[in-house]
A and B are shown apart, each in its own frame.
Chain A
């Protein structure tokens, strides 16, 4: 059907090349129409051309564009093109499309070499990453200054907001965090017991659990869960406010968005995270104790006595002291990405993902720094 819908008659007479497209020149038949026009080749180059549009049954933008393109192509090849016989109902369309078709094509950049492209992209990404780090540090500075100003005038601190975020980030995280920590304790005890049994040193599973949970796993797990739960929430909340221009509105009312939005969140998270870490430590050890009792017949009493000899208060503190630092990092990254949202709702999604990835990345990097520091200090 489509093959018969359009055709082009081409003949010579009196030295004039007559081209007569006919049929339905619409979107449906654009494929065959384009083919038919491509096949048109002049017998003599440079002669006059008569493009007769009188036999078109139907014409739409696409058909008109194809014919206008043909006329322009022939004109560029040196033919004198005369468009004739346009039906009155097609005239306006043909003229409008011909004019629009002559708009210059989108400027394409110069041809790229893939390797050069890659180098350029690498460079651009590096510069972007460095700039990002700088911006993040200045944002930290901004928040610190705002916080210091609040310390001088504590009445300006939004206590309700802080409490709300403590509830959101802390209380509401307890079930998921408790369950995950308990399971991690179970897994660690099980794996440790399996290895230590070979040496007859089953009791040392308590030492293994105590040190690893209290120093590293408790705090790291908590930070990662909170980065995923609350860091992303901060970005989404502030980002949505940014899209709705609420942040701009705060600014015009003479209020400080950092003071109003960022400081309460950062403060709340810094209060919450150490508490969550302690809770995760307890749940992790409890999971380990349950598993030890089940597989190694270590009673809870034995477990606690062994834990006493295995870990001192320093081990607990070495874990807990990291918590406020991680909290600050997660909150700052979350709020910073939220503040970066601009224009579309799409950027809220992109930046939320980025906040979580960056938050977890920085938490692990800082944890490594802490490890080096502790070993140098001999803690």
Chain B
């Protein structure tokens, strides 16, 4: 780890201010066969913000997330993560970059053969050479920070409820103190109380850890309560703005989305 490539630190520090956007997408084109999902999409995610990504089914929200974290290769365009172009990285640089990003998959994607604590310890064991007792302690802290009770660490994923699986997945995503946290529908499948608690957990962690959060979501409450800006995938491009800006947008889909009964209810709850 000692000679890892220098990347932006987890926190905006005085010695290395982050001037450029942490995620910078330019001219992204995605095609599946004859179908074009993204066509010349541009997106900037600023350091320390929570960006909510919305869009109708099939507009490529999850695909965009997967392209940014490098699971899918786009047909054209560049993606820069923390100032590094993801297309031309050596294997070593890619690994170092992956250690600076944390991903919470929709269903947690916890390794079912391991306990929660082992799940959280795995990236620490692989990417650092810390002594095992310290790794175990760090894992315990992360599990506690994700809002899980202490005895959850010894449990297997199959013994956890849906909300606890998400929290455990979040603890694992945060294991290496990433600069960017990617969330794929973090509140899907949770009850409203659990979803609200998870939202405030993400907000709290984002503030205390100085994270940049890229969140694909359909939860209008999440959008209104914790997102600084909202990116709407529409017409194979993306429109980024604050909630107020989107409310004023005359585009029919955006209007229906934010002015529909659910959108109104979520905004009134916020007021």
Taking each of A57, A61, A93, A99, which has the highest tally of chain B beta carbons within 10 Å of its own beta carbon?
A: A61
CB of A105 within 8 Å of the partner chain = yes
Selected interface stretch from B84-92, B151-159, B217-225: B151-159
CB of A60 within 8 Å of the partner chain = yes
User: How many A-B pairs with Cβ below 8 Å?
Assistant: 108
- How many Å from the CB of A109 to the closest CB on chain B? 10
CB-based contact A106/B141 at 8 Å: no
Selected interface stretch from A21-29, A44-52, A301-309, A320-328: A21-29
Q: Which of B13, B131, B158, B209 contacts A344 (CB 8 A)?
A: B158
Contact with B along A106-121 (1 / 0, CB 8 A): 1100000000000000
Contact with B along A136-161 (1 / 0, CB 8 A): 00000000000000000000000000
CB of B210 within 8 Å of the partner chain = yes
Cα distance, A69 to B13, chains bound together (Å): 23
CB of B129 within 8 Å of the partner chain = yes
CB of B1 within 8 Å of the partner chain = yes
CB-CB < 8 A to A31: which residues of B? 128-131
CB-based contact B11/A90 at 8 Å: yes
Chain A's closest residue to B117 (CB) is: A106
- How many Å from the CB of B126 to the closest CB on chain A? 12
Q: Which of B145, B177, B210 contacts A100 (CB 8 A)?
A: B145
CB-based contact B3/A61 at 8 Å: no
Q: Find residues 153-197 in chain B having any chain A CB closer than 8 Å to their own CB.
A: 153-154, 157-158, 174, 176-177
CB-based contact B158/A27 at 8 Å: no
CB of A85 within 8 Å of the partner chain = no
CB-based contact B209/A60 at 8 Å: yes
CB-CB < 8 A to A24: which residues of B? 9
CB-based contact A61/B145 at 8 Å: yes
CB of A257 within 8 Å of the partner chain = no
- How many Å from the CB of B11 to the closest CB on chain A? 6
Q: Find residues 78-130 in chain A having any chain B CB closer than 8 Å to their own CB.
A: 89-90, 92-93, 95-97, 99-101, 103-107
Cα distance, A61 to B207, chains bound together (Å): 13
Q: Which of A1, A59, A93, A100 contacts B2 (CB 8 A)?
A: A1
CB-CB < 8 A to A107: which residues of B? 150-151
CB-based contact A34/B131 at 8 Å: yes
Given A93-B209, A103-B150, A344-B158: A61 touches B141 (CB 8 Å cut-off): yes
Given A59-B11, A93-B208: A34 touches B134 (CB 8 Å cut-off): yes
CB-based contact A103/B144 at 8 Å: yes
Cα distance, A220 to B41, chains bound together (Å): 65
CB-based contact A27/B140 at 8 Å: no
Cα distance, A311 to B157, chains bound together (Å): 59
CB of B113 within 8 Å of the partner chain = yes
Chain B's closest residue to A98 (CB) is: B141
**Interface size class for chain A?**
35 or more
Q: Which of B11, B128, B208 contacts A27 (CB 8 A)?
A: B128
Taking each of A34, A90, A100, A343, which has the highest tally of chain B beta carbons within 10 Å of its own beta carbon?
A: A100
CB-based contact B177/A2 at 8 Å: no
CB-based contact B3/A57 at 8 Å: no
- How many Å from the CB of A122 to the closest CB on chain B? 23
CB of A346 within 8 Å of the partner chain = yes
CB of A62 within 8 Å of the partner chain = yes
CB-CB < 8 A to A103: which residues of B? 140-141, 144, 150
CB-CB < 8 A to A57: which residues of B? 13-15
CB-based contact B2/A28 at 8 Å: yes
CB of B20 within 8 Å of the partner chain = no
CB of B69 within 8 Å of the partner chain = no
CB of A30 within 8 Å of the partner chain = yes
Chain B's closest residue to A105 (CB) is: B140
CB of B77 within 8 Å of the partner chain = no
CB-CB < 8 A to B154: which residues of A? 106
CB-based contact B150/A60 at 8 Å: no
CB-CB < 8 A to B3: which residues of A? 1
Known: A26-B177, A28-B1, A96-B208. 14 other contacts (CB 8 A): A26-B9, A31-B129, A57-B15, A65-B137, A89-B11, A89-B210, A92-B207, A93-B11, A97-B141, A100-B144, A101-B141, A103-B141, A106-B140, A107-B150
20 CB-based A-B contacts, threshold 8 Å: A27-B176, A30-B128, A30-B130, A31-B129, A60-B209, A61-B138, A61-B141, A61-B177, A62-B138, A65-B141, A89-B11, A89-B13, A93-B210, A95-B208, A100-B141, A100-B144, A101-B141, A106-B150, A344-B157, A346-B158
